C-alpha cells in the first residue's frame, strides 16, 4: 500500500504487481490521499461503487464526478441512462450493470468563487489524474472504452481533442479500443446541431449502440 506522498505514476508502477482487485484497492487508497491539484479542494473524490460491473469488459469514462462524488448522475448521465433503459434488457437496466465507470479527473471540480458550483476539470488536472485512468485501463483490459465528453476523450487518448471532431470515432490505443462521444447533455444542443444530430436522434443512436454492446456479450 502506498503512502500519502506517492504520485499517480508511482502508484501505477507498484500496483501492477497485484491482481485487478488489489490494483483497484490500491488505486482507491492513493486517489483518496491525492492532493495534487490545488484547485480541486475540498477534494471530493469519486465515490467507490461496488455495484458496477467488471465482467462485461466495457468501461465508461466521464469528465469528473459531481459534488457527491457520483458519476453520470447529471444531465448527460440521465440521457445515457434513459438510452440504456430503452434497450429494455432486464439484465442491463443501469449503467452500473453494463460498465465499469471511471473519470478523467477523480475530484469534483468546484468554481473558484463559489464552491457549490461545478466547472469542467482543466487540462492540467486531467493530465495529473491520467495515471490513475491509465492504470485502470491497463488492469482491466477493456474490450471497449467509451469516453464521454471532451476531457474524458482527451485523457483517454492522452492528447487534447475537440470532441465535436472526434464524436463517434473509434481509436486504437495501447490499452484497447476507444469510442469518443460528445456528452449528450441537453446543454450541448449547439454542438449536436453542428454535427447534424438532435438530442432525440442522439438518444436513439445511443440506444442502438448499447443494444449492440449487449448483443456482443451473448
Ligand atoms: S483530480 Fe486526480 S490528480 Fe488531481 S487531486 Fe484529484 S485525484 Fe489527485
Mean pLDDT per 10-residue interval, the chain, length 218 residues: 43 57 91 96 91 92 96 96 98 97 97 89 96 94 96 95 96 95 94 96 98 95
Judged by DSSP in three states, 59 sits in strand
Here the cell at position 26 is 490500491
- The predicted pLDDT at position 18 comes to 62
φ and ψ of 208, to 5 deg: -65, -40
- The predicted pLDDT at position 9 comes to 54
87: left (phi over 0), alpha (psi -120 to 50) or beta: alpha
36 alpha carbon to ligand 1 midpoint, in Å?
Answer: 6
- The predicted pLDDT at position 49 comes to 85
Here the cell at position 11 is 502508484
Helix axes 75-85, 199-215, angle to 10 degrees: 50
**Residue 46 domain-assigned (yes or no):** yes
Judged by DSSP in three states, 23 sits in helix
Answer yes or no: is the C-beta of 87 below 6 A from any ligand 1 atom. Answer: no
Q: Which of 121, 125, 151 to mutate to test the pocket of ligand 1 (most atoms within 8 A of CB)?
A: 125
User: Which ligand 1 atom minimizes the distance to the CA of 121?
Assistant: 1
Q: Residue with the nearest Cα to atom 8 of ligand 1?
A: 34
Q: How far apart are CA 198 and CA 78, in angstroms?
A: 16
Among 102, 104, 88, residue whose Cα is nearest residue 210 = 88
Answer yes or no: is the C-beta of 162 below 6 A from any ligand 1 atom. Answer: no
What residues contact 76, with CB distance under 8 A and at least 6 apart? 148, 149, 183, 184, 185, 188
Answer yes or no: is the C-beta of 106 below 6 A from any ligand 1 atom. Answer: yes
Among 44, 46, 54, residue whose Cα is nearest residue 23 = 54
- The predicted pLDDT at position 216 comes to 96
Provide the domain count of the chain.
1
- The predicted pLDDT at position 51 comes to 79
Answer yes or no: is the C-beta of 125 below 6 A from any ligand 1 atom. Answer: yes
Answer yes or no: is the C-beta of 145 below 6 A from any ligand 1 atom. Answer: no
124: domain CATH number is: 3.40.470.10
Answer yes or no: is the C-beta of 105 below 6 A from any ligand 1 atom. Answer: yes
Answer yes or no: is the C-beta of 64 below 6 A from any ligand 1 atom. Answer: no
Q: Where are the beta strands (DSSP E) in 44-156?
A: 58-62, 100-103, 144-148
**Residue 174 domain-assigned (yes or no):** yes
43 alpha carbon to ligand 1 midpoint, in Å?
Answer: 8
The domain of 36 spans 8-215
**Residue 2 domain-assigned (yes or no):** no
- The predicted pLDDT at position 4 comes to 36
Partner residues linked to 144 by β-bridges:
58
CB-based contact 96:49 (threshold 8 Å):
yes
**Residue 65 domain-assigned (yes or no):** yes
Q: Residue with the nearest Cα to atom 6 of ligand 1?
A: 107
**Residue 3 domain-assigned (yes or no):** no
26 alpha carbon to ligand 1 midpoint, in Å?
Answer: 15
Among 215, 216, 189, residue whose Cα is nearest residue 202 = 189
157 alpha carbon to ligand 1 midpoint, in Å?
Answer: 18
- The predicted pLDDT at position 192 comes to 97
The whole model's pTM is what? 0.91
- The predicted pLDDT at position 7 comes to 55
Amino acid at each position: 500500500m502506498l503512502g500519502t506522498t506517492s504520485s499517480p505514476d508511482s502508484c501505477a508502477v507498484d500496483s501492477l504487481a497485484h491482481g485487478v482487485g488489489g490494483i483497484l484497492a490500491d488505486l482507491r487508497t492513493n486517489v483518496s490521499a491525492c492532493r495534487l491539484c490545488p484547485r480541486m479542494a475540498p477534494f471530493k473524490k469519486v465515490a467507490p461503487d461496488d455495484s458496477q460491473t467488471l465482467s462485461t469488459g466495457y468501461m465508461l469514462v466521464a469528465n469528473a464526478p459531481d459534488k457527491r462524488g457520483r458519476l453520470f448522475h447529471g444531465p448527460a448521465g440521465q440521457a445515457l441512462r434513459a438510452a440504456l433503459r430503452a434497450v429494455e434488457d432486464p439484465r442491463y437496466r443501469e449503467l452500473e450493470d453494463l460498465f465499469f465507470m471511471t473519470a478523467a479527473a477523480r475530484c469534483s471540480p468546484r468554481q473558484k468563487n463559489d464552491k457549490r458550483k461545478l466547472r469542467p476539470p482543466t487540462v492540467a488536472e486531467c493530465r495529473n489524474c491520467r495515471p490513475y485512468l491509465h492504470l485502470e485501463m491497463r488492469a482491466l483490459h477493456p474490450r471497449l472504452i467509451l469516453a464521454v465528453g471532451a476531457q474524458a476523450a482527451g485523457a483517454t487518448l492522452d492528447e487534447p481533442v475537440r470532441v465535436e471532431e472526434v464524436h463517434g470515432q473509434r481509436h486504437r490505443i495501447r490499452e484497447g479500443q476507444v469510442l469518443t462521444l460528445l456528452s449528450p447533455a441537453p446543454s450541448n444542443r449547439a454542438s449536436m446541431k453542428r454535427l447534424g444530430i438532435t438530442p432525440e436522434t442522439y438518444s436513439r443512436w445511443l440506444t442502438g449502440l448499447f443494444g449492440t454492446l449487449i448483443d456482443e456479450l451473448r
